[in-house]
Structure 1
Amino acid sequence: MRRLLRQGFAAVLLSAFGACAGPQLDFVIASGSENRTLEPIVQDFCRARRVICRFDYQGSLDIGLALSNEPPAFDAVWPANAIWIELFDRDKRVRDLTPIARSPVILGLRRSKAEALGWIGRPVATSDIVEAVRDKNVSYLASSATQSNSGAGAYLAMLSAALGSPDAITLADLRTPGMQDTVKTLLSGTARTAGSSAWLADLYFKSLEGGTAYDGMWNYEAVLAETNAELKRRGAEPLYAIYPSDGVAAANSPLGFVDRGKGVPARNFFDALQKHLLSAEIQTRLVALGRRPAVGEARGAVPDPSWNYDPSRLVALIRMPEPTVVRAALDLYQEALRRPSLTVYCLDFSGSMGGPGEDELKKAMRFVLSHEEASRVLVQNGPADRIAVIPFDSRVRGVTRGSGSTADAPALIRAVESNDATGGTNIYACAKAGLQEIRDTPDTGRYLPAIVLMTDGRSENYQQDFLDAWRNAGADIPVFGVTFGDADKTQLDTLADATRARVFDGRTSLQEAFRAVRGYN
């Protein structure tokens, strides 16, 4: 009897210890940035299961590419659309990829702009948008079609509308006469681009804070709802929702499992999480957050006629093409149809870059300037792009110019590789030279300009001198920073904030940092 009592007491102790013990599983989810507002729902579930859940927010392309790593650094993927998994998951690592919620990619325009165009309270076709762009009556923000799903969705819908067919796009369709001109016109209306739908919304807010406003942006219906909620809080003008009558693409936010050897606990947790997110209770909560449910109508959604928002309305959806067609369409976008870029690369060759830093920089630039290498991850330049390479230390060493054509790439690469690391650091002298380079480029207005400033050190401080020159230029020229080594991120952050840009961390991989910045230009 005493033995039984002792065993029972021990069992109670073990049970109590287990209940008080910390989390037994660490679970990483590679997620699109549009899911940030959904993370609290997942974290509540994780805490209830005593699991540490970490979100690794990445672009849609990044999630697909990361599946080639051995082993992957995450236990689940939650991209905006399954096409990015289909394109890059060659080893079929992702299992049970299942849609969780839907959100169409639509155009949000400042209400005053929509009124001026006569688009309030009536159907708007893609042809209406083409006409407005052609007449220079509208421009917009849009994420990169090759780096972000919202950009890809807007672009594929443009292709479908230009073809005027309800069928899925084929490889032959991409060569249809007149189609490319129509889509090129639509993409020429892009005022700024980005590699993330969430950052695109941040860019819109930054422009307001700076005293100007973009006409609008292509983004998810759900992101526009979040944006308008914040605009209302600020007392600012809302974005009016334009649902192109000839079809839109929609994100379906699929959640899939990646087995990286954590065994049954990880698999069981994933199954439970997926089931939880698809439950009636959570689907209702997702609708309240501006999403459409994975299946069926958005019952209980609250429309807002003031900006034409109604997630329960039926929208015409395009049929998604086969993965091979999507890949061909994205190459066509990158090389021929998007608004061409005008990029100045300011490259730090100061003495502290000697050795591994210099080698890494040269390798990264060979990658970004080589059509064959860059095309593997959809960041290749096109013949219409313009590029300037400016190596610097405490002074500007010279400028080498070229196009994005394969013929110009060797000279641009030689201009990088002919440099050795020596001297001090003055990032502002190079940035100012880059600004002048952009201003001196003929027909500057047809390009998306940017300065990419890569440094590993702390610069002599001529910041105000550069910012005065930037303001006097009167143009929307972002200065993106790429850090390396012990770079003073504060200086780069200040330039990025002032010019509505961002800073990329190149300390782990300069090549990956340069690839990421290409999605923003």
Structure 2
Amino acid sequence: MALALAACGKNGPEFSIVSGSENTVIEPIVQEFCAQHGATCSFKYEGSLDIGLALQSADGVEQDAVWPAASVWVDMFDTSRRVKQLTSIAQTPVILGVRRSKAEELGWVGKPVYMKDILAAVKDGKLKFLMTSATQSNSGASAYLAMLSSANSSQSVIEPGDLDNPTVQDTVKSLLAGVERSSGSSGWLADLYVDAASKGTLYDAMWNYEAVLKETNDRLKPLDQELLYAVYPADGVAVADSPLGFVDHGRGADVQTFFNDLLAYLHTAPIQQRIADTGRRIPLGGVTAKPEPDWNFDPTRLVTAIRTPEPAVIRQALDLYQAALRKPSLTALCLDFSGSMGGDGETQLQQAMQFLFTPERAAEVLVQWSLADRIIVIPFDGYVRDTLTTTGAEADQATLLSEVSSQSADGGTDMYACANEALKEIQKTPNLGSYLPAIVIMTDGRSEGDSAGFIAQWQGVTPHVPVFGITFGDAEKGQLDTLAAQTSARVFDGGADLAGAFRAARGYN
């Protein structure tokens, strides 16, 4: 992403925005405005937590504006009040899209559906769904808060003590047991659903923004795939307010003026209609997208919005999610200790593991392991060196850290040997369906070995295990991209920040 390097370029200001992935469909509208003003505008897409953590950091965000999915992430993390003029652009509730035939099977078509109905379907083994991580993405956090609100039916808003209620915890934990795949991005989750459908893998349902569900169905129609039926939980949903705010880096009045003009442009009637046509709601704007009764989409429909808890309560709820309520992860980490990792590579890998297996540090960014998690660490070079399997208990993490610390760089590179070993270990796990399994391969070089042999083995394992990649240095990215594409996963760039790449990967598991 081009960062803003000067207050004013040759043809106008350079202006940068850090945004949630759900705004990719809105970016072309912004870019049209930028072109009209001779400006160079750039977007960087990050999860809600990433935006919040950047605002909380000593340096703050690098960009001129922030555009998270919901203002709560600014309220929770922007303690220095760096963001000015935070203004809602549109609204969209987070709802459940259910494959039409599944909705009919469950008897939900044309009827009000409550969270208790969703819970019953999950408990009966009739429903699984995709949902982003509540600690990494606003759509997941919104679905999670709606679950908490419904389970806490005796109160109008969640208070700190409510999170200690065993009944509330058990109800929400049972709902989250329905998660079949997770991610750190709402947009990536929608891509996963469409790509899987095009390959013949049909997921039951997906929690996501009403507008993103419309985008998803618009992509499914040309593929002649079954649409997602919109389920608006009758006992309450969380509504994202899509706020755009200015961050003053002292680059001059013209940058502030440009932001003000952009805000005004986004609130003009023609642009509001274009935004509404994407499926977003424009409160009091008098414009709306056309309802689509065939999948129950109706942006004019009144929804019951839950009351948003105080920021401190939301942070407590997110800690509870990560430490106790989410579906446990089963993560196999393949760590490249080949000879080419010597020097800086080995140092950074060790530092990344120090972060990942030090509970206090991991908890700061909400990626701490839970007692129910299972962790497999496999150091490799041209061969598998060792296989270490533990729980997420603090003592077990300390053991893993000690074992990894004893490794040193040497030998060739065969990530497929490690991936095969990881898959074998995952297959040994009792009650595999009660976990979210994943393999994460960190490597810096082109691998030897047999990819076809691994994929053949992978196809025989149910549920299919996504294989995520983390690159380092001048890694040959093509092999990791191929593995990720074949297993419905993705690759993270660890070149600039290896620990950050591992943190991002945790959001998908």
TM-score, L = length of structure 1: 0.94
Rounded Cα–Cα distance in structure 2 between residues aligned with 1:317 and 1:140: 22
Distance (Å, rounded) in 1 between the aligned partners of 2:393 and 2:294: 47
CA distance in 2, matches of 1:307, 1:88: 37
Match runs of 1:110-189 below 5 Å:
110-165=99-154, 167-189=156-178
Q: Which residue of 1 aligns with 2:354?
A: 366
Q: How does 1:64-143 map to 2 (within 5 A)?
A: 64-67=52-55, 68=57, 70=59, 72-143=61-132
**Higher Rg:** 1
Matched, 1:466 2:454: yes
The one-letter code sitting in structure 1 at the alignment partner of 2:40 is I
Residue 495 of structure 2: aligned partner: 507
Determine if contact 1:297/1:312 at 8 Å carries over to the other structure: no
For 2:31, the equivalent position in structure 1 comes to 43
Does 1:394 pair with 2:382? yes
What's the counterpart of residue 280 of structure 2? Answer: 291
* 1:246 and 2:235 matched: yes
TM-score by length of 2: 0.97
Q: Residue 180 of structure 2 aligns with which residue?
A: 191
- Give 3-state SS (helix, strand or coil) of 1:120's partner: coil
Per mean C-alpha deviation after superposition, the further-off stretch among 71-80 and 148-157 is 71-80
The DSSP-based 3-state class of the residue aligned with 2:394 is: coil
Is residue 280–residue 299 contact of structure 2 (8 Å, CA) maintained in 1? yes
Aligned counterparts of 1:356 and 1:428: Cα–Cα separation in 2: 24
Amino acid at match of 1:177: P
Provide, for residues 51-78 of structure 1, a one-character-per-residue CA deviation record: whole Å limited to 9, x for no partner. Answer: 1110111111111112225263100000
Contact 2:417-2:449 at 8 Å conserved across structures: no
Report if the CA contact (8 A) 1:166-1:318 is conserved: no
* Corresponding residue for residue 4 of structure 2: none
What are the superposed Cα offsets for residues 308-338 of structure 1, whole Å, 9 maximum, x if unpaired?
Answer: 0000000000011111000000000001000
Moved more, 41-50 or 341-350: 41-50
RMSD: 1.2
How far apart are the structure 1 equivalents of 2:26 and 2:137?
18
What is the 5 A alignment of 1:317-396? Answer: 317-396=305-384
- Compute the displacement of 1:404 (Å): 1.0
The runs of 5 or more residues in structure 2 that have no matched partner are 1-8
2:395 to 392, 395, 407: 407
Question: Which amino acid is 1:153 matched to?
Answer: S
1:488-499 to 2 correspondences below 5 Å? 488-499=476-487
Amino acid at match of 1:149: N
CA distances 1:433-486 after superposition (whole Å, capped 9, x unpaired):
000010011111110000000000111031001111101223220000000011
Contact 2:194 2:219 in 1 (8 A): no
| Alpha-carbon distance, 1:22 to partner | 4.0
**What is the CA–CA distance in structure 1 between the aligned matches of 2:58 and 2:73, rounded to whole Å?**
15
Q: 1:71, 1:260 within 8 Å by CA — same for their partners in 2?
A: no
Cα distance in 2 between the residues matched to 1:42 and 1:299: 19
8 Å Cα contact 1:221/1:290 also seen in 2 = yes
1:454 touches 1:483 (CA, 8 Å); kept in 2? yes
Aligned to 1:261: 250
Structure 1: any 5+ residue segments left out of the alignment?
A: 1-20
Sequence identity (%): 57
SS at match of 2:127: coil
The code of the aligned residue for 2:445 comes to: G
CA-to-aligned-CA distance 1:47-104 (integer Å, 9 cap, x gap): 1111111011111111111222526310000000011112221211111111110000
Q: Do residues 55 (structure 1) and 76 (structure 2) align? A: no
Q: Is the 8 A contact 2:458 2:464 kept in 1?
A: no
